[in-house]
Amino acid sequence: MGTDFLYMDFRSESWQFGDVVTRDTDLNPVMLIPENTAIVRIDDKDFGCEHTNFIVLGGSHADGVMVNWHFGVDCVFEQDRLKLDASYSNAAWNLPMARMMHEACVVRNSKQEWRMLVIGGKVGTSASSCSPVNSVIGLDLIFVLSPWLAEKYGRKDEAPEWQACANMKTARANFSHLVVDNLVFVFGGVSGNGEGAESHCPILSSPAVERYDPVANKWLEIKVNGVPNLAAFAWTPKGVNTGKMLVLGGTDGNLIQESVYEIDFKAGSCNELSQMFEQSFAMSKLVYREKSNKLYCFGGYGSAGQNFELLLEEGEEWRESTRSHLPLMAFKDPTDAEAELVNFSSLHFE
């Protein structure tokens, strides 16, 4: 959507258009957050210095051209409206290769310093020809967030660069991740496509769940009882550091699913919720609000731009939300991927 972005203001329970803050001194006054990018929220971490709200990594343009971008973004409230401001950008910190449909997070390394990880996804130059990978790369944030921290810890002469980490056991694109007690869990995804008459069918990643220890730099296959094998699903953490993730829809490699699952990585269990979604969507945006114990589903393939919500209590059912974003996108075809919010990344914060 160019330099505009769409956000739900849960205070007023209404959709709003935000815009990008630009200044005369900006070298590049137009900031574009690509499609299929990875967004890393870092304003909930204690880095010991001032820093940006979130970081944008990789992605693709609407024409399928992939990018290796890396830049920080600040959230700015002006006159009670949300705006985005590009806080930093350095070509030396761009990804080694363009990626899309990947995941990214921040953990502590073996030195107990903050490190940013970029996990899996598809690598290449074009969305039509790229392939899923199992590779993982890391960048020490001590160089990115504050140069004086690098000097303080005796590392001012080191050049910041992406470093290869241990590979996952399988390639993954269009999957999910969750950081729990500094361990990274990944779930689901696509590892490739079939051949011949089955070339349109995705091959799902197996094992379904893996866990990465950034201190030991090691991946392990994790057994989670009852977990399905899915890709292109909607997902969201359930609470802060609970080890739980809510998953909705997606594909099992053949059909679009309608179930909602709660995966508990700490307990190694997965339960299907009684509230069947009864809509065949994929790649929706899912948000869980702990304050209200509500689950929100925004857009997705096949949604025609519909939004739904569910109170997570026994006897409650999904209902279509009256707070539609479509009036703000009247210039879009309701079945268009942009109107359905399919390829755009999302971020939720209270």
Task: Give the pLDDT confidence of 69-126 residue by residue, as tens digits.
Answer: 999 888 888 887 888 888 878 788 899 999 999 999 999 998 888 999 999 999 999 9
At 180 the pLDDT is 96
Beta bridge partners of 220: 211
Which tokens go with 96? 């080694």
How confident is the model over 227-241, as a mean pLDDT? 95
At 238 the pLDDT is 96
Segment 130-189, tens digit of pLDDT:
999 999 999 988 777 766 566 666 666 666 789 999 999 999 999 999 999 999 999 999
What is the percent of the chain with per-residue pLDDT over 70, rounded to a whole number? 89
The CA distance from 118 to 111, in Å, is 19
At 25 the pLDDT is 52
Q: Over 50: is that where the pLDDT of 190 sits? A: yes
Q: Over 70: is that where the pLDDT of 304 sits? A: yes
CATH class of 223-350: mainly beta
User: Is the omega angle on the peptide bond into residue 207 within 30 degrees of 0, that is, cis?
Assistant: yes
Q: Where are the domains of the chain?
A: 223-350
Backbone φ and ψ for 142, nearest 5 degrees, come out as -60, -30
Which tokens go with 237? 């953490």
How confident is the model over 306-311, as a mean pLDDT? 93
Question: Which helix or strand (DSSP H or E) is residue 191 part of?
Answer: strand 190-193
The CA distance from 25 to 273, in Å, is 52
Among 64, 62, 69, which Cα is nearest to 31's?
69
pLDDT band at 286 (very low <50, low <70, confident <90, very high): very high
The CA distance from 119 to 95, in Å, is 12
Whether pTM > 0.85 for this model: the answer is yes
Among 255, 265, 299, 242, which Cα is nearest to 176's?
265
Distances (CA, A) of 269 to 125, 209, 235, 263, 283: 38, 11, 16, 6, 23
How confident is the model over 335-350, as a mean pLDDT? 81
At 2 the pLDDT is 42
The CA distance from 133 to 281, in Å, is 25
Query: What are the contacts of 76-80 at 24+ separation with CB within 8 A?
Result: 76/21, 78/21
At 91 the pLDDT is 83
